[in-house]
Amino acid sequence: MDEIHNWVFTFGIGGPNAGFFVELRGTFHEARTEMFRLFSGEWAFQYKNRVQAGVDEYGLTKLFVNSKLCDSAEDHREKTSGQLGQRGRAHLSVVAACDEEEGEDA
């Protein structure tokens, strides 16, 4: 559990962020704690990689968040600002980006 991974988090069906996933880099507990900070309890599951989370299988879209466990990138704000509906935007104060590392931990 102390290994560092790009942890993948999904959201419940019917919630404001359904159909999205978040990727945070850190230990199991660091990433989980950060998700509670960002979304309270309004997320569903934590996975070790995108395959386990079903990102491609279910066509999930990456939700970019401002987090200490992500590399901040101001230029990605425009890319992601339109992703969230009105209710989803209320959950995030700032939208930034985590660098995607394709295939890592897959």
The DSSP code for 11 is -
What is the value of pTM for the model shown?
Answer: 0.68
| Host domain of residue 31 | 5-89
In single-letter form, the type of residue at position 68 comes to: K
| DSSP H or E run through 8 | strand 5-10
| DSSP H or E run through 34 | helix 28-39
Task: Report yes or no on 42 lying in a domain.
Answer: yes
Task: Report yes or no on 97 lying in a domain.
Answer: no
Q: Give the total number of structural domains in the chain.
A: 1
Least confident window among 13-27, 46-60, 65-79: 65-79
Task: Report yes or no on 106 lying in a domain.
Answer: no
Tokens of 8: 């993948």
pLDDT of 57-88, one tens digit each? 999 999 888 777 775 444 344 444 455 444 34
Contacts of 40 (CB under 8 A, 6+ apart): none
